[in-house]
Amino acid sequence: MSAALLQAPAVDPTRAGGAGWKRVALAVFLLAWGGNHFTPLLHMYEVRGGYASWQANLLLGTYVAGLVPGLLIASAISDRHGRKPVLFGGTLLAIGGSVLLGAGFDSYWLLCVGRAFAGIGVGVAMSVGTSWIKELSSPPYDEHSSGSAGARRPSLALTGGFALGALVTGLLAQWGPAPQVTPYAVHIALSVVALAVLARAPESLPVASRTDKSWWQDLRIPSTGHRRFTRLVLPAAPWVFGAAGVAYAIMPAVVQSGLGDQATLYATALTVLTLGTGALAQNAVSAINRRTGGRALVVGLAAMAAGLALAVIAAELANPVIAVFVAIALGAAYGICLVAGLIHVQAIATPQDLAGLTGVYYSLTYTGFLLPAALAALLPLVSYGPSLIAVSLICLGCLLVVIRESSRH
C-alpha cells in the first residue's frame, strides 16, 4: 500500500456532503464483523474441534489481549498521525486474523493469535473509528446531523457488524461448506472492499490539531480522573459486553442439551437477537435522556439487572424460551448503556484526548467479555445458576452507585 494513499489529502469539507462518515462506518462495520463472527462457532469448536468449554469461551475473550492495545495505543498514534493510516492498519491486521482463524482449526495457539489480531481490529474501530465518525458527523463535514449522531452512528456501525457477522457466520456454519474456513473467507473478501472505500474518506484531524508527543506520552489521559467518568461511566462500562456475553455465550450453553443438531443455529439466533435489540435500543437513547433528565445510563443498567435476574431463572430451568427473553432484555440494556456511556465520554473529553478517552471507555466495556470464560472456568465448582445470582447482585450494586451519581448530572 503506497504512502500516498495513507496521507490525509486536502479535502474540502463542503464537498463531502455529510457522507464521509459512511465510508469510515463501513470499515468499522467490517472490523466489528471480524470480532464477533467467532461467537456462533463456539459449539462447533467444542464438538468438532474437541476443545473444552473453558477453552472455547477463553477464545471468545482472548481477543481482549489485542483489543486493549488496539484501543489505547492506536488512539494515541492516531492523535499524532491522523485517523486514516491507523484505521487502515487495523483493517489489515483484522484480515490477517481471519486468515489465521481459517487456517488454525486444529491449532489452539493459531486460534489464539488470530483472535488477538481480530481484537486489535475491533479496538482500532472502537477508538479511532468512533472518533473519526464523530468528527465527520460534525461541522464542517456534516452540517445537518443531530447532536447525538457522533455517538449513535459509530455505535450502530459496531452493533450492526457484531450482529450481521454472527448471523452470516452462523448460517454458513449450519448449512454452508467447510464451516471452519468459509466464514473467514467471506470476511476477508468484504474487508478488502472496505479498504477500497476507506481510501476515499476525508481525514478529519488536521495537522495543526495533532499532538507532537510520542504515542507513549499520549497514553496519559487526564480526563480519566474526571468524577463523572470514575463514578458514573466506570461502574457501568464492564456490564455493556458482560451482559451481551451472558446473553449469547452463557445462555446457549445452559440450554444446549435440548437443542441437538440445532445448537449452532440457536446460538446464532440468540446472538443476532441480542445485538439486533441493542441496535434498536441505541436509537432510543436520546429520547430516554430527554424524558429522564439525562439518566439513560440508569435506565440501561436497571434493564441489565433485570435481564441478569431472568438469566438465573433460565439457567435453573434450562429453558430455551426464557433464554430468548433474556437476550431481548440484555440486548436492550447493552444498546442503551453503550451509547449512554459514550455520550458521557464525549461530553467529558477535550479534542486532544477524545480518541484516548474513547479507547479507555471501550477497554472497560470489553472487560465484560471475560465474564463468560470466568463462569465457564468455575463450572467444576459451581453451576451457572448460583454464579449468575452473584453476578446479578454485583450488577445491582453498580446500579446503586450510578443512580447516586446521576443526581449530580
pLDDT at residue 185, rounded to an integer: 95
Weakest-pLDDT range from 21-25, 49-53, 165-169? 49-53
Judge whether 150 and 133 are in contact, CB under 8 Å.
yes
CA–CA distance, 176 with 367 (Å, rounded to integer): 33
383 class by beta-carbon count within 10 Å (0-12 exposed, 13-18 middle, 19+ buried): middle
Weakest-pLDDT range from 75-84, 122-131, 320-329? 75-84
CA–CA distance, 355 with 357 (Å, rounded to integer): 6
Instruction: Read off the amino acid at residue 220.
Output: R
- Note the pLDDT tens digit of each residue in 372-382: 878 888 888 99
pLDDT-derived band of residue 35, with 50, 70 and 90 as boundaries? Answer: confident
- State pTM to two decimals: 0.74
Grid coordinates representing 405 are 451519581
Q: Which of 241, 326, 334, 265 minimizes the C-alpha distance to 35?
A: 241
Does the pLDDT value for residue 17 go beyond 50? no
pLDDT at residue 388, rounded to an integer: 95
Does the pLDDT value for residue 311 go beyond 90? yes
CA–CA distance, 282 with 302 (Å, rounded to integer): 16
- Average pLDDT along the chain: 84
Judge whether 27 and 121 are in contact, CB under 8 Å.
no
Which DSSP string corresponds to 205-260? Answer: S-GGGS--S-TTTTT--GGGG-HHIIIIIHHHHHHHHHHHHIIIIIHHHHHGGGTG
Q: How far apart are the first and last CA of the chain?
A: 47
Percent of the chain whose predicted confidence (pLDDT) is above 90: 37
pLDDT-derived band of residue 395, with 50, 70 and 90 as boundaries? Answer: very high
pLDDT-derived band of residue 366, with 50, 70 and 90 as boundaries? Answer: confident
Q: Which CATH superfamily is domain 20-207+223-406 in?
A: MFS general substrate transporter like domains (1.20.1250.20)
Percent of the chain whose predicted confidence (pLDDT) is above 70: 88
Omega of the bond leading into 140 within 30 degrees of 0 (cis): yes
Does the pLDDT value for residue 13 go beyond 70? no
What's the whole-number mean pLDDT along residues 295-318?
A: 94
pLDDT-derived band of residue 9, with 50, 70 and 90 as boundaries? Answer: very low
pLDDT at residue 182, rounded to an integer: 92
Q: Which DSSP symbol is given to 66?
A: H
Q: Which DSSP symbol is given to 202?
A: P
Which DSSP string corresponds to 95-162? Answer: HHHHHHHHH-TT-HHHHHHHHHHHHHHHHHIIIIIHHHHHHHTSTTT-SS--TTHHHHHHHHHHHHHH
pLDDT at residue 223, rounded to an integer: 72
pLDDT at residue 219, rounded to an integer: 60
Residue whose grid cell is 484480515: 95
pLDDT at residue 298, rounded to an integer: 96
CA–CA distance, 90 with 23 (Å, rounded to integer): 15
Grid coordinates representing 305 are 439487572
Does the pLDDT value for residue 16 go beyond 50? no
CA–CA distance, 380 with 377 (Å, rounded to integer): 7
- Note the pLDDT tens digit of each residue in 183-225: 999 999 999 999 999 988 888 776 666 666 665 555 667 677 7
Q: Which DSSP symbol is given to 203?
A: P
CA–CA distance, 229 with 242 (Å, rounded to integer): 19
Weakest-pLDDT range from 155-164, 201-210, 270-279, 330-339? 201-210
pLDDT at residue 115, rounded to an integer: 92
Does the pLDDT value for residue 352 go beyond 90? no
Does the pLDDT value for residue 254 go beyond 60? yes
Judge whether 161 and 33 are in contact, CB under 8 Å.
yes
What's the whole-number mean pLDDT along residues 141-145?
A: 66
Weakest-pLDDT range from 57-71, 91-105, 169-183? 57-71
Judge whether 264 and 43 are in contact, CB under 8 Å.
yes
In the chain, what are the helix, strand and coil shares in percent, each to the nearest 5? Answer: 80, 0, 20
